[in-house]
Amino acid sequence: MEATGRVGCRRDRAAMAGRGSHRAAERRRPSGGARSQPRPGLARDGRAVGRQPYPLAYAWVRGRGAALRPWASGSQTETLVKVCGVMTPEDARMACEKGADFVGMIMSEGYKRSVDAVQASAIVSAARESGAEPVGIFTRETAQEIVAACDDVGLATVQLHGDTPRKNLKDLPTSLAVFYVVHSEGGALTTPLPAELAQIDLSVPDPAYWKKPIDWVSAGRRSVDYILVDKKEAGGTGSLDWDSLVVPKGCSRKGWVMAGGLTPENVGEAVKRFRPSIVDVSGGVTDGSGTKKDPEKVGDFIANAKAAA
């Protein structure tokens, strides 16, 4: 279900190029094996040391010691939970306290759970301080608009839920982690996968096309972290048809996300039946207002999801 990672030949070239400089550095190292600068990583007390690649930069949770979650450590052994459609920092903190790994907010205008830049910035801070990764959902923005919004509020992870954002994947920087949304209807995926947007000859589908060197040289970015299978409309109601659900394989770096119609009552069955990397919930854990999260529902959803895994 998970893809192998970034382009192998690129990694090999980087390794070969750095071999000489590495040996030279070894010769220059002071006696006793001491390094002049600490290697990037986590200190014994859990704090980040040196320059950190995403998402280890957010592994340190203030005031809680070393709280490295599975999505940050790279060793995922359980189904993770993303609570989406969050509109306030209070709901973000509550979801994190219940065990949410990701907190999503709709950055595009026009939905009942949309947030503005001020709200988004507060949610981003609340999520990170509580140990979860914030995710910004975009439904109609270009790559330039997505990057500007992320810079404005401090987002490092985005969800592409719309034709325009998906087509602009090639222009997004690799520093942004990406959830790429597809739709499953009638036993088929009705949304182009990342590889299909780059592949010239579609007569012979190649799910692994995104891993080929040409994607990095001539067609821009084609790698995504997760493929998210959802209903058609973001921020609304509806559910997936489980009997015809198509599970995407081999087209993302880390796995796939199941969303659309999940509730505290059915999430356990969904996890046991489909084994998604992440389950995503929004309307299934709101109170009567349809916008504010219900703490009891959020807690039950997360507990049931993780118990089933």
Report residue 230: phi and psi, to 5°: -140, 175
Angle between helices 89-98 and 117-129 in degrees, nearest 10: 30
Report residue 12: phi and psi, to 5°: -65, -45
As a whole number, the mean pLDDT across the chain is: 76
Side-chain-side CA neighbours of residue 248 (13 Å): 34
What pLDDT score does 199 carry?
53
Averaged pLDDT, 275-290: 96
Q: In this structure, what token pair is assigned to residue 178?
A: 């990406």
User: pLDDT by residue (tens digit) across 49-95?
Assistant: 332 333 333 332 323 333 445 555 445 568 999 999 999 999 999 99
User: pLDDT by residue (tens digit) across 211-270?
Assistant: 555 444 455 677 899 999 987 655 445 678 888 888 888 889 999 999 989 999 999 999
What pLDDT score does 150 carry?
98
4 pLDDT tier (thresholds 50, 70, 90): very low
Higher pLDDT, 64 or 143: 143
Averaged pLDDT, 175-201: 82
Higher pLDDT, 99 or 185: 99
Is residue 39 pLDDT above 50, yes or no?
Answer: no
